[in-house]
Amino acid sequence: MSEPNVIPLGPKQAAAAAQLHRQGIDTGFLSSLGQSFLRQLYLAVPKCPAGFGYVWVEPGGQVLGFIACAESTGRLYKQALLRRGFQMAWPVGRFLFRPATLKRMIQTLRYPSQVGGELPAAEVLSIAVSSDARGKGVGKALMAAALKEFARRSVRQCKVAVGADNTNANEFYKRCGFKLALTRQHHGRPMNVYVIGTHEQGHD
């Protein structure tokens, strides 16, 4: 059965998604660019043909979780920069040209081509559930919606990259059916890349 609380990510939920990202994935490079940048990113994702996302919304309107995905991460970044590059650059203008920021940005932009041609281009970019709503099936429902949308777009497999030390997320991906494909260094830390067939999880 479809989960009625799960709806497509739209402009109204971009700020909530940015806040959940900042709170839940606080060690990542994108988080370090700040909430205004993340809001622009989550405004851009559903506007791009290669991107989509879902949110879990309570009847009162509170957003408890979100997921953002790309048919191809490289293509999504290009489309987002073309559509909303100025808005995305504006909040980070102050420190965009610092050598350390530039280095991490280049690593982030080059990462899709570096993780290996064997891996699927499609990717779960980010997922986060509010800390007091975890362990209740919200993340799994968001993942099911994302895999179903990938399948609808004729994407057969997708990957997800996560810090090897993020135990919660690694366990979550394994429980969702993802299989570890490789571990590599990213921004100087070990990162696991998992892969799943988009028809592997029971959708509805």
According to the binding rule CB under 6 A, does residue 127 interact with ligand COA?
yes
Q: Which of 72, 84, 86, 62 is nearest to 5 (CA)?
A: 62
Among the listed ranges 44-52, 89-97, 99-107, 133-141, the one in contact with ligand COA (CB under 6 A) is 133-141
Task: Please state, in angstroms and rounded to a whole number, the distance separating the CA atoms of residues 143 and 162.
Answer: 15
Which residues, in sequence order, are CB contacts of 174 under 8 Å at separation 6+?
Answer: 180, 194
Determine contact, residues 159/193, Cβ cutoff 8 Å: yes
Task: Please state, in angstroms and rounded to a whole number, the distance separating the CA atoms of residues 118 and 188.
Answer: 23
Q: Judged by CB under 6 A, how many residues of this single chain contact ligand COA? A: 20
According to the binding rule CB under 6 A, does residue 55 interact with ligand COA?
no
According to the binding rule CB under 6 A, does residue 203 interact with ligand COA?
no
CB atoms within 10 A of CB 56: 26
Determine contact, residues 146/198, Cβ cutoff 8 Å: no
Which residues, in sequence order, are CB contacts of 122 under 8 Å at separation 6+?
Answer: 69, 70, 71, 72, 150, 155, 157, 158, 159, 198
CB of 63 to ligand COA, least distance (A): 12
Q: Which of residues 156-195 bind ligand COA (CB under 6 A)?
A: 162, 166, 168-169, 171-172, 175
Q: Which of 69, 160, 174, 157 is nearest to 120 (CA)?
A: 157
**SS3 label, residue 131:** helix
Of 14, 25, 44, 70, which lies in the binding site for ligand COA, with binding defined by CB under 6 A?
25
CB of 86 to ligand COA, least distance (A): 26
CB of 167 to ligand COA, least distance (A): 6
According to the binding rule CB under 6 A, does residue 27 interact with ligand COA?
no
Q: Give the Cα-Cα-Cα angle 11, 14, 18 (nearest 5 degrees).
A: 170
Of 16, 138, 147, 158, which lies in the binding site for ligand COA, with binding defined by CB under 6 A?
138
Of 40, 73, 126, 192, which lies in the binding site for ligand COA, with binding defined by CB under 6 A?
126
Of 78, 83, 140, 153, which lies in the binding site for ligand COA, with binding defined by CB under 6 A?
140
Of 43, 45, 128, 158, which lies in the binding site for ligand COA, with binding defined by CB under 6 A?
128
The residues binding ligand COA (CB under 6 A) are 24-25, 126-129, 134-140, 162, 166, 168-169, 171-172, 175
